[in-house]
Amino acid sequence: MDVISIFQSKIAQAVAPLGTSITENQIENIWKINKKPVLCLDGDIAGENAAWRFINKVLPIIKLV
């Protein structure tokens, strides 16, 4: 499901990173929109690699409660 389909399903906070890379700034902005964001990536190798890059970027900045 892409961001357009999500938006058409009445979920207004959907955003797309436009590629397989996401920056720390994008992560911070996403958390400003929603305190419990859900990241959806493709199920191919590129999507899996993007997920690992995301994990490595987000772990240093998250706060466990």
Residue 42 pLDDT > 80: yes
In contact, 17 and 26? CB cutoff 8 Å:
yes
pTM: 0.69
Q: Is position 64 within any domain? A: no
Band (pLDDT 50/70/90 cuts) for residue 49 is very high
Q: Is position 63 within any domain? A: no
Q: What is the number of structural domains in the chain? A: 1
Angstrom distance (rounded) from CA 26 to CA 31: 9
54 contact partners, CB below 8 Å, separation of at least 6: 22, 27, 39, 41
Q: Is position 35 within any domain? A: yes
Sequence letter at residue 40? C
pLDDT at 19: 72
Domain that holds residue 17: 3-58
- Summarised one tens digit per residue, pLDDT across range 11-41 is 877 887 777 788 888 888 888 888 888 888 8
pLDDT at 45: 94
